Structure 1
Amino acid sequence: MKENLSLKAFVVLIKASKALQDHVMEDIKNYGMKTSEFTILETLYHKGKQTVREISNSVLIKTGSITYVIDRLEEKGMLQREHCQKDRRVVYIDITDEGKNLMDEIFPKHQKVIEELFMDISDEQKQTVIDMLKKVGKRL
């Protein structure tokens, strides 16, 4: 019987994804943070002020759960809420100087961990993986 390459590609992708996630989560733990906290701070660090919905879409955490994480990060002084002047229903979340200073310190280390995972893969191969995964994702 001929090997089903679609099924094999799916299994390899899922296993690789799990291994990568586990490795990255372990790295984030080294900074005394939970993955959800780190991903929210990282989003604000790179994209600037965002609404809760924008953050939720960016980090793939449901809006209900994200409020709890935002509350915790606000208590730690890492981010702050700002009400929109034009529409009081809209609340922006922004990283504080304390949060930015923390990310200035830890993000380069985190980035290096990720870069090391891909160090044996050429830029051309990385781009091919990106293109292929986008193509699969768009089919859904």
Structure 2
Amino acid sequence: MSNEDINQSLKLFIVLSRAYRAINENVNKLIQTYGLNPTEFAVMELLYHKGDQPLQQIGGKILLASGSITYVVDKLEEKGYLKRVACPSDRRVTFAQITDAGKEMIESIFPNHEEKIHELMSELSKEEKATVIELVKRLGLSIASK
């Protein structure tokens, strides 16, 4: 392993980190205009697209510490966007379920969210996006298996 290889790996790390930060900051600003924080939006998006979710599993699906989930779910429940539903077959499990008001809210904001992400990614062609997806996915999977 040469110094050049090491320097290139470090540069890749910095470039990926800065790109992620820039994208995330832009998207988070938009999310805040909806009266949500990024974590609340992530929970709402998960429930909208994947249906009812056990509270214990939400954190792992949106990359959030499980202790924070209760707080986020409480806030979304106060806003009327979701409700807790007991599992009929296992009293230890409680599901988060999106409400009609929550569906209405996410359906009204998600098209704008999609458009913003598309706009942020528009620097790359369709083919370049496919290449980046393939390479970054490969990198992530190789790291996860170590």
Q: TM-score band, normalised by the shorter chain?
A: over 0.9
Secondary structure of the 2:22 match is helix
TM-score, normalising length from structure 2? Answer: 0.90
Secondary structure of the 1:81 match is strand
User: What is the count of residue pairs matched by the alignment?
Assistant: 140
| Counterpart-to-counterpart distance in 2, 1:15 and 1:98 | 36
Deviant stretches of 4+, over 6 Å: none
CA positional deviation for 1:122: 1.9
Amino acid at match of 1:33: L
The answer to whether 1:51 aligns with 2:93 is no
Structure 1 residues not aligned, in runs of 5+: none
CA positional deviation for 1:139: 2.3
The answer to whether 1:24 aligns with 2:43 is no
Structure 2 residues not aligned, in runs of 5+: none
Superposition CA RMSD, Å: 1.4
Indicate the percent of aligned positions where both proteins have the same amino acid: 45
TM-score, normalising length from structure 1? Answer: 0.94
| Counterpart-to-counterpart distance in 2, 1:110 and 1:2 | 40
How far does the alpha carbon of each residue in 1:110-129 deviate from its partner, in whole angstroms, 9 at most, with x for none?
Answer: 11000001123122211211
Matches within 5 A, 1:1-140: 2=4, 4-140=7-143
- After TM superposition, the structure 1 stretch with the greater mean CA deviation from structure 2, 11-20 or 50-59, is 50-59
| Counterpart-to-counterpart distance in 2, 1:77 and 1:2 | 55
Amino acid at match of 1:85: P
Secondary structure of the 2:85 match is strand
| Counterpart-to-counterpart distance in 1, 2:8 and 2:99 | 48
